[in-house]
Amino acid sequence: MHDDVGQLLWIGFEGTSVAPELRGRLERGEAGATIVFKRNLAIAGAGGDERCDLAALVELNQALHRRAPDGTPAWIAVDQEGGRVQRVKAPATVWPAMDRHDQLPAAAALQLAGEVGEAMGGELAALGFDIDFAPVLDVHTNPANPIIGDRAFGRDAEAVGDRALAFADGLRRAGIVACGKHFPGHGDTATDSHLELPRIDHDWARLEQVELAPFRAAAARALPMLMTAHVVFAALDPNRPATLSHLVITGLLRDRLGYRGIVISDDLDMRAIVDHIGVDAAAVAAIRAGCDVLLLCRDPGHQELAREALIRGAERDSELRRRIAESAHRVRQLKQTIEAERTPRPGLDVVGSAPHQALAARLRGGPGPSSRGGAAPA
């Protein structure tokens, strides 16, 4: 049971090296993956002259690649979308925001999305990453949205789905696992779930036509991972955010849309969760709802609270124990599949290479949509 719970907990950490305590947790199988943020990168310079120490990052990722006692690898994830959500920047390629696809003809945008995904994935693979928490599948329909904005692939639901999934195919070709986000759609919120709990009051017809369309396409294409949104959708479940709702995760995503991949919660350290229910209760509720993986990106105390709550709950409740085992099996199965298919990682010479810089320049192009969101998530 302890090993199964460990596969469900994907964690952030402090510092630019692997502390003995973190290494021990990974080697004991107490965490299934780590998430690298800007705070974990060795950065020189300031402002526009910041440079990431790529050799130090490779060394960090090598140290993070531990294995649990049963041999299951601990993976490494990163948010590398392009634009303002891009943890690894220069001398890696600095990618423009994905809404730049909206400036291109439809066929050119679709082709470029795949090329960008493959190039970005190649750089991540060379640096030692396994997962990119991208693409964004949200449709940018609200100019006042403080958190999505230019992170979206556009304003039209069908175009967003096509471009985002082409990008995900590119990541896959490069050996990186894609994770689409934020189900069932964060594009029309007016508040930031890092700070408070947003609510969307659209009716079912609107949700089906706009918000859900890219996720339906992702389910049909068997995208390996989807991340949830800490957003209340009144037409789906007026009482619980999607991450914690059995109606949304199991009833809609699993049963109605037929999704069979891994469902990942957004960060349970976000105030949309912490201020309303607490991390320990949220961890149990998210697994009961149908999530497979819980992100706990910053607070080690929260990580331990979540772990203890799942273990204690499973000891008392056979249904929770079954759900934990089911999700752990799903995570291990994907890891085994990807590890078996993995090809040698490219060399560091692909990172920031001239062809990738030219590709970024093509996407950057001329003037694009003017609407931008707020500050990038931490």
Catalytic residue among 138, 266, 267, 292: 266
The helix or strand, by DSSP H or E, that contains position 51, with its residue range, turns out to be: strand 51-52
Q: Select which of 186, 194, 230, 302 is catalytic.
A: 194
**From CA 237, how far away is CA 249, in angstroms rounded?**
11
138 among known catalytic residues: no
**Catalytic (active site) residue 194:** yes
Give the integer Cα–Cα distance in Å for 257 and 158.
Answer: 16
Class of residue 48 by CB neighbours under 10 A (exposed 0-12, middle 13-18, buried 19+): exposed
Beta carbons of 53 and 44 less than 8 angstroms apart: yes
Report which secondary-structure segment, H or E, holds 85: strand 85-86
- Taking Cα atoms as reference points, which of 281, 156, 174 lies closest to residue 211? 156
Rg over alpha carbons for the chain, rounded to the nearest Å, is 19
How many whole angstroms separate alpha carbon 134 and alpha carbon 114? 13
Judged by DSSP in three states, 182 sits in strand
Of 109, 193, 106, 110, the C-alpha closest to 148 is: 193
Q: Which positions are annotated as active-site residues?
A: 194, 266
